[in-house]
Structure 1
Amino acid sequence: MSISLLLEMAASTNPDRPAVVSGETRLSAAELSTLADGAAGVIAASGARHVAYVGTGGEMLPLLLFASARARVAVSPVNYRLSTEGVQSLIERLPDPLIVVDDAYRAVIAGGRVMTSAEFLAAAKTAEPASEFPDPDSVAVVLFTSGTTSRPKAVELTHNNLTSYVTGTVEFDSADPADAALICVPPYHIAGVGAALSNLYAGRKMVYLKDFSAREWINLVGAEGVTSATVVPTMLDRIVTVLDTETGPESGHLPTLRTLAYGGSKVALPLVRKALSLLPEVGFVNAYGLTETSSTIAVLTPDDHRAALGAEDGDAMRRLGSVGQPVPGIEVQIRADDGTVLPPGEAGELFVRGEQVSGKYTDIGSVLDADGWFPTRDLAMLDAAGYLFIGGRSDDTIIRGGENIAPAEIEDVLVEHPAVRDCAVVGADDPEWGQIIVAVVVPMPGVEPDSDELRAHVRAQLRGSRTPDRVVFRDELPTNATGKILRRTLLEELATESTTASKESA
């Protein structure tokens, strides 16, 4: 099944239902389909073998997804936040692309077959339509991984991968006529692609906020009657701060909002509990997925949140920090270093399998094993009830004196201290221990925590070997657009500070 069919089904079933709202642009399902046919004609006439998009999204993301499919070429939304060199290096890896770029980022494109978004939209309205159905096994979307620790990989997602995710998790035309989804994740992230496909398939109006601000997000919820939304942790933190501190009729109360999903990276439990207390009528969803899995593979449902929040049993309470249970069609295994499948309660590497899982990279090929399992490189554990707990990336493991230490284990304890707003734990090079544990802490506003007190707080709950060797303070942590902490950046900053201090003391 191709993603083209998702739009055709939506347009033929409810042609006049609102599909996309982005600023002043409003498109029904039928209007989006007609525009996609014209846009496919523009792509086909260009002779390009791929489409690259550099911009903030909005209506351009669903349009290019479906237009590229109907022109039988793949599309790659590229991270517009990268430097000129970074953007160019990614585009150069794509085969003979048509580059569609927002006016604001035109200067970062050095050459090639280029159209601004405005030019592309204008051409799509007058072009000879094209509407082909691609091979379901052909590549529909190529997304570059964030590359926080290495050269970004180009993940190839087929039409079958993407439609398997959508049809396995969403019921067609199941949304109420008044339902609206607020989308503010970037177009180059798998969550943005998944949101465009799944909301259209469900028949839900998509409201785009291209440049996030918590105040504007809250305003749009009210103005468009938003019933569901997806945010990354940094966005959730800012929304909660506004709701908690501002006065007025909107504060702490979003009457139309029924579901709020968060994901993209780990969310501190104090923030989750605060959000639940501010919005008791909203159903919270923790969604976990990867680019290579076509978006979400596990979900902690609203009922799961409420059950964990109200639980008295320790195991049940801890599930608030899980990512829930696998979605339909997804199998999971936790494996030891030697490949042995581990039982519940034991931590190892997470492997996943299912139709929505790609595991294939351009220039690398498939990394699935002989039985179709994908190695996520995430450390994880399943509890006895099948709830999945993610412990961070295997690359982040600190090896101190020969002992493997997961940063998340320390972070989960440290962030519960009342003086800590956010934190990250990293392993800094050390001649004696190999690595030492450094806790980078963002204090609560107006608070000056004591380093020894924070170390004692960790020591009281974990083994002494887990106690941070150093505690440093920051106003904020470096993160990417999806809220993932840039640990490499922290380590580079710490190394620079150490070198500077050594020179000054010499």
Structure 2
Amino acid sequence: MRMATSMVRLVNQVAERARSVEVLWRAGLVPLPRVDVIVGSLLATRRFGPLAGAVRIAARRDPRAVAIVDERGPLTFAELESRSNALARAWSQRGVRPGSAIAALCRDHRWLVLTMLAAGKLGAPLLLLNTGFAKPQLTDVAAREKVTVLVYDEEFSDVLSGITGVDRFLAWADTDTSGTPTLGEVIATADDTAMPVPAKPGGLILLTSGTTGTPKGAPRPKISALDSAQFLDRIPLRVGEATFLGAPLFHGTGISQFILSLALGCKVLLRRRFDPEATLRGIAEHRCTALVLVPTMLRRIIDLAPEVIGRYDTSSLRIIFVAGSALSPEVGNRATEIFGDVIHNLYGSTEVAVATVATPQDWRRAPGTVGRPPVGCRVALYDDSGRRITRPYVTGRVFVGSGLAFEGYTDGRHKEVIDGLLSSGDVGHFDADGLLFIDGRDDEMIVSGGENVYPVEVENLLVEHPDVVEAAVVGVEDEEFGQRLKAYVVPAAGARLDAEGVREHVRRNLARYKVPRDVEFLPELPRNATGKVLRDKLP
């Protein structure tokens, strides 16, 4: 019996790998029957890690092609290769060794990209710091991860002043550098010949959001080229196109699509700060086929006046890739009306990476869905006792299996595992067609009068009101019901909506126990860099 089970597992794995290769071939990443190119791509990724491997693959395909465009202009794949070689060699001469931890606190630009590439060529783990973190968080993380080299933009000098005992380098600098060497200076004076292949790639360390304290480190020491199929199976990126990257590179959404776009030889537009109209201008100028955003960025774009949106030809867009936080049906539907059937809604996390993707067809059928698992991923729901839930419309805890999932936090802790699947920390349900919906965070459930309420359902309803821009719902203590719902609402300009109007809107559409007893109006909701509401910062 055990042998039969093992054979079935082996057959499934072979079939999954074959399907992954087919997905990569369809995208143009695997030029069958060129076995030499396939093997070369696999080796480059294994030797240098995901990003440095991706650039090497693309440079081999066309070294003169433009790789990135930032505020300083374009850089080709050949220029990325040579300049990152110089930086890696300079750091090596300064004592950086395989395993030395390098940290970067930068906006999205060429110097951050070169830092990531150089770290990969040295076999040094790279810690991507969040530009929204406070000084104590950054200080604690740097100490825990034993950072030896710190790369940062000049604007972050103050919040990094608590970090000591590190070798510092300035990335983006607009004024006097006060004696701190810049990456540009280091690269200009270094030998740009290739470094020896490291014994193993250093990998990337992504950080959790840090909404409940010191952010945890989630390392990604390696990535198989075949695992790219988890994105490409349901997101039709293709070789040689152009991607506008709005999501920050320090977040899983941004870095995953950046790596994949470069591996495909795509031109990637980077900007230090997100601007909705400048984004449309960049799409039109460079004929971008993909736009990578977090939901709050998409909302800022569609909230532009129609005449502003109409100034720019965005007909080249085939993909608006959204991830990082929940995409409300209202925002996704409005974006579909403006840009057509291009919404690709990814659900994942720092820990599990990819879980599911909703295609435009999925979204049309069921607005709000996060879709289905792509090739190489599995998703299952379990109740609080660890029993599998298979019936539709029954909410359970979400567990994910993915070749890109992490193997534990850098402090030794791990997420709960059932049947080889990793907890995402969320709860959700499948509909009758097998499409997944996320109902909220497991720890955000509100119990009011014995009834379970997940805030996202009420929040999604509230933002459908024409006088509401955004909303957040939390539970507050109540002597009679244990908890009661409180809604924080950002009203639209000129709106006359009052608290009773908010309650009446919910009362007409949802069960009585889901009506917020308290309503508070705010000019905006506190959010982190990826658009997640900081509920502990609500007044």
**TM-score, normalization by structure 2:** 0.82
Shift of 1:401: 3.1
Q: Distance in 2 between matches of 1:257 and 1:271?
A: 17
Instruction: Name the structure 2 match of 1:291.
Output: 350
**Counterpart selection for 2:170 from 105, 110, 116:** 116
C-alpha distance in structure 2 between counterparts of 1:365 and 1:163, whole Å: 27
SS of equivalent to 2:288 = coil
Task: Measure, in 2, the Cα distance between the counterparts of 1:370 and 1:228.
Answer: 36
Distance 1:481 1:352 in 2: 25
Tell me if structure 2 keeps the 8 A contact 1:331–1:354.
Answer: yes
Structure 2 counterpart of 1:145, from 201, 204, 208 = 208
Name the residue aligned to 2:124: 73
CA distance in 2: counterparts of 1:242 and 1:32, whole angstroms? 35
Contact 2:145/2:410, CA 8 A, preserved across alignment: no
Structure 1: runs of 5+ lacking an equivalent: 309-315, 494-506
Q: Does 1:468 align with 2:516?
A: yes
- Do residues 488 (structure 1) and 539 (structure 2) align? no
Distance 2:77 2:459 in 1: 45
Structure 1 range deviating more: 433-442 or 401-410: 401-410
The answer to whether 1:339 aligns with 2:339 is no
Does the CA-based 8 Å contact 2:342-2:360 persist in structure 1? yes
Conserved in 1, the CA contact under 8 Å of 2:112 and 2:171?
Answer: no
The corresponding residue for 2:495 is: 447
Structure 2 runs not aligned, ≥5 long: 1-45, 173-181
Would the aligned equivalents of 1:443 and 1:449 in 2 still touch at CA under 8 Å?
yes
Q: Which amino acid aligns with 1:321?
A: G
Amino acid at match of 2:362: D
Amino acid at match of 1:459: R
Determine the structure 2 residue equivalent to 1:254. Answer: 314
Tell me, yes or no, if the aligned pair for 1:46 and 1:98 is still in contact at 8 Å. no
What letter matches 2:331 in structure 1?
L
C-alpha distance in 2 between matches for 1:163 and 1:291: 19
**Match for residue 153 of structure 2 among 102, 108, 114:** 102
Distance 2:505 2:188 in 1: 62
Please list the CA deviations of residues 38-65 of structure 1 after superposition, one character each: whole Å capped at 9, or x if unmatched: 2222332333411101110212333222
Separation (CA, whole Å) in 2 of partners of 1:407 and 1:248: 35
Aligned to 2:175: none
Q: From the superposition, tell whether residues 133 and 320 of structure 1 become closer, same or farther in structure 2 (CA, over 3 Å).
A: farther
Partner SS, residue 472 of structure 1: strand
| Residues 214 and 105 of structure 1, relative CA distance in 2, 3 Å threshold | same
Structure 1 CA distance, aligned partners of 2:232 and 2:502? 44
Structure-1-length-normalised TM-score: 0.87
- Equivalent residue number for residue 410 of structure 1: 458
Q: Return the offset for 1:298.
A: 1.5
**Aligned letter for 1:326?**
P
- The one-letter code of the counterpart of 1:297 is A
Task: For 2:496 and 2:322, locate their aligned partners in 1 and report how far apart those are by CA, in whole Å.
Answer: 29
Q: Tell me the distance in 1 between the aligned counterparts of 2:462 and 2:237.
A: 42
- Alpha-carbon RMSD across the aligned residues, in angstroms, is 2.3
Alpha-carbon separation, structure 2, partners of 1:289 and 1:394: 15
Q: 2:9 — aligned with what?
A: none
Contact 2:355 2:379 in 1 (8 A): no
**Residue 85 in structure 1 maps to residue 144 in structure 2:** no
CA contact (8 A) 2:376 2:403 kept: yes
Q: Which moved more, 1:444-453 or 1:386-395?
A: 444-453
Aligned to 2:68: 20
The Cα shift of 1:209 comes to 1.4
Q: How many residues align?
A: 472
Question: What amino acid is aligned across from residue 183 of structure 2 in structure 1?
Answer: F
Residue aligning to 2:325: 265
Q: Any conservation in 2 of the 1:43–1:68 contact (CA below 8 Å)?
A: no
Instruction: State the match for 1:496 in structure 2.
Output: none
Identity %: 29
Please give the per-residue CA displacement for 1:403-422, whole angstroms capped at 9, x wherever unaligned. 32111122232222333222
Q: Partner residue of 2:34?
A: none
Q: Partner of 1:184 in structure 2?
A: 246
Distance 1:192 1:148 in 2: 19
Deviation of the 1:472 alpha carbon: 1.6
The verdict on how the C-alpha distance between 1:234 and 1:88 changes in structure 2, with shifts beyond 3 A counting, is same
User: Which residue identity does 1:185 align to in structure 2?
Assistant: A
Q: Does structure 1 conserve the Cα–Cα contact (< 8 Å) formed by 2:206 and 2:218?
A: yes
CA contact (8 A) 1:100 1:114 kept: yes
Tell me, in whole angstroms, the C-alpha distance in 2 between the residues paired with 1:422 and 1:12: 46
Q: In structure 2, how many angstroms separate the alpha carbons of the residues matched to 1:157 and 1:365?
A: 15
Q: Which amino acid aligns with 1:105?
A: F
Q: Which amino acid aligns with 2:530?
A: T
Q: 1:220 and 1:72, CA in 2 relative to 1: closer, same or farther beyond 3 A?
A: same
8 Å Cα contact 1:260-1:284 kept in structure 2 = yes
Q: Per-residue deviation at 1:272?
A: 1.8
Query: Which of these residues, 372, 376, 397, is aligned with residue 420 of structure 2?
Result: 372
> Deviation string for 1:115-135 (max 9, x for gaps)?
112622332343244534456
Q: 1:193 is paired with a residue of what secondary structure?
A: helix
